[in-house]
Chain A
Amino acid sequence: MLIEKHKDKIATILKRYPEKRAALLPLLWLSQEEQGYLSEAAMKEIAGLLGLTPPQVYETVTFYTMLNRQPIGKHHIQVCRSLMCALVGTEQLLGWIHAKLGIKPGQTTPDGLFTLSLVECLASCGTGPMMQVNDDYYEQLTQEKVNRILDDLKREGKCPLATGPFMFPLPEEVKR
């Protein structure tokens, strides 16, 4: 259970807020990072911790797209479908992912490694088409890059093409 494993962390989080309920999102994050999703048992435990009813936790969870109520693939591919990315190739990107993994938005590969979702704007509009895989952004994608990223993720669990601290364009690229 969360409370036994993360006693100190939970105490630190609770101290940040004068009202307990404000700690709800931080605790949900803690739980999701632990399990990959939010089980009913986890939501009930958090409700108990914060003096809330389970429905109060559940109604909050269902509002936020990043909180998963069921297990998903190990690598969650989230492709931005909003206009700015769509103008420069969301459809192609979906085609490249489909060619490589055989999945469409909403599907998971049979080995459980990849789940593909369409999401709205991720604040990467100048560097589309792009996707977020778990915590990492991958931008200015091409078919070659997508193949390499998916290969790397499958083999190593990570890929060096993930964007670091963001700056675009880089100073050396700016012609003023």
Chain B
Amino acid sequence: MPKHELLLLKNMSQPGYTGSLADYERAGGYQALRKVLGKIAPADIIEMVKKSGLRGRGGAGFPTGVKWSFIPKDHPGPRYLICNADESEPGTFKDRQLMERDPHQMIEGMILAAYAISAHTAYIYIRGEFVLGAKILENALAEAYRAGYLGPNILRSGFALDIYMHRGAGAYICGEETALLESLEGKRGLPRIKPPFPATHGLFKLPTVVNNVETLANVPHIVNRGSEWFASIGSPPKSTGTRIFCLSGHVKRPGNYEVPMGITFREMIYDIAGGMRGDKPLKAFIPGGASATFMIPEHLDVKMDFDSVAQAGSMLGSGGVTVMEEGTCMVWAAENLLHFFNHESCGKCTPCREGSLWLLQILRRIDHGKGKMDDLATLLRLCGNIAGRTVCAFGDAEIAPITSTLQYFRDEYEAHIREQGCPFRPQPARELITVGH
């Protein structure tokens, strides 16, 4: 594959492409479905996706084919497929583009996935704020029904599938798959204790697969061009395919860029995203959404694949890369993210619920010049009491900004405490954003 061949963003990058069914079909859309229905057994599709090496694009990176294979084959009753379109990880804005610009690519992926796990009902759980995305998907689903790609007898193969939209209503945690299930069932979005896993006890306690938008959008390409082809892209064997990275912060050209996994952060930030927006050097970056630990300039040559980023102590996560220039206050940045985590903590587990507020209060105190040197040890002790002690991964996520900024920028925390204020920014500028907490 040439280095920059686009897969997921290819159609929408063509001039005049609207994302309508006609446009998608003209670009080769729904050919994968025709190839599969009535011709290839569901188990073979699962095998194909396993062999492709496709891993979840929502954040956790779990192998997709393996997830599908956990659905019990002998289960007599219904099973469900859910598309997780709750894109809420700060720094991430790729699913929004995939849904609004090429909805049928994702829908075809959903039909193939549902066929693979023999599900006849699927839901798209979309975050409540994506009103436009929900409308576009509703229209696309209606088009697919009219064309016979959805309904009781898809392409006369005997396979039946209904896909329904389900809107969230404002809660980050509902992107966590078991919280999503609770929310879909009409409850507060509190993550469930695992096991049992959704593969056996998911939606309505029935076998369920939850896949991210980008993950599902990859499936038609794998079916069309084969698992070997897909597995040759990126950094095989553990990081195959492309990723859409979402560049934000202090770069010249922020935006969504699809590249094969395995290019370096330096190439991404300096070549593709145009480098730093001003004349200031790079100070830190977050490699995979707000839940990932901060990285620093010495990590610029780390490859953007699952393993390399993990080895460097962070995670590729959701693909949201946020770049910060010299002069950005790291205490302020951590405080901002802790405000997010405190606001979004669902409240189920004490360490996370109470810990996030306590952490936020200490950070705010330090940022406002009222910190004590003891606070730094308290921060770390608190972080140690949250990590691994919560039902879901949120607890580990909320400490990431603190542990990593303290690791790399401890002197900055100390300067705030010593100088009784932020050495980077004057206090009055923060007045408006503090109002309304």
Contacts and interface: CB of A to CB of B under 8 A. Distances in A.
A98 to B, nearest CB: 7
A40 interface: no
Contacts of B290: 82-83, 121
Contacts of A98: 432
B4 interface: yes
A84 B91 contact: yes
Nearest to A125: B248
B249 A91 contact: no
B185 A120 contact: no
Contacts, number: 194
B188 A126 contact: no
A83 B337 contact: yes
A161 interface: no
Nearest to B433: A91
Contacts of B51: none
Interface SS of B by simple majority? mixed
Interface string A7-48: 000000000101101111110110000000000000000000
B432 A125 contact: no
Contacts of B433: 81, 86, 90-91, 94, 105, 118
Interface stretch (B129-137, B233-241, B354-362): B129-137
Nearest to B425: A91
Contacts of B339: 81
A145 B302 CA distance: 39
B131 A120 contact: no
Contacts of A160: none
A129 B432 CA distance: 15
Interface stretch (B33-41, B63-71, B161-169, B376-384): B161-169
Nearest to A95: B432
Interface residues of B, number: 73
A98 B337 CA distance: 24
Interface stretch (B95-103, B151-159, B366-374): B95-103
A168 B253 CA distance: 10
Contacts of A126: 93, 246-248, 254-256
A87 B101 contact: no
B131 A135 contact: yes
Given A16-B164, A25-B166, A64-B170, A104 B186 contact: no
B131 A127 contact: no
B305 interface: no
A109 interface: no
A94 B204 CA distance: 43
Contact of B170 (A23, A66, A135): A66
Given A59-B188, A83-B290, A132 B168 contact: no
Interface residues of A, number: 62
Contacts of A28: 169
B350 interface: no
A123 B127 contact: yes
B169 A135 contact: no
A118 B433 CA distance: 8
B189 interface: yes
B201 interface: no
B186 A21 contact: yes
A151 B222 CA distance: 49
Nearest to A172: B15
B300 interface: no
A164 B165 CA distance: 20
A57 B324 CA distance: 43
Given A125-B246, A167-B97, A91 B136 contact: no
Most interface-central of A25, A50, A60, A136 (chain B CB within 10 A) = A25
B191 to A, nearest CB: 13
A2 interface: no
Interface in A58-82: 59-60, 63-67, 81-82
A26 B247 CA distance: 33
A125 B93 contact: yes
B88 A123 contact: yes
Given A25-B169, A64-B128, A91-B430, A82 B255 contact: no
B322 A105 contact: no
A135 B324 CA distance: 30
Given A63-B188, A82-B90, A94-B433, A137 B4 contact: no
Given A98-B432, A168-B254, 7 more contacts: A19-B204, A65-B170, A83-B337, A91-B433, A104-B432, A125-B322, A126-B247
26 contacts: A16-B162, A50-B186, A60-B187, A64-B168, A65-B169, A65-B170, A83-B90, A83-B336, A83-B337, A84-B90, A84-B320, A87-B248, A105-B432, A123-B127, A125-B254, A125-B320, A126-B255, A127-B93, A132-B129, A136-B131, A164-B132, A167-B97, A168-B97, A168-B254, A169-B256, A171-B13
Interface of A: 16, 18-19, 21-26, 28-29, 50, 59-60, 63-67, 81-84, 86-88, 90-91, 94-95, 98, 104-106, 117-128, 132, 135-137, 163-169, 171, 173-176
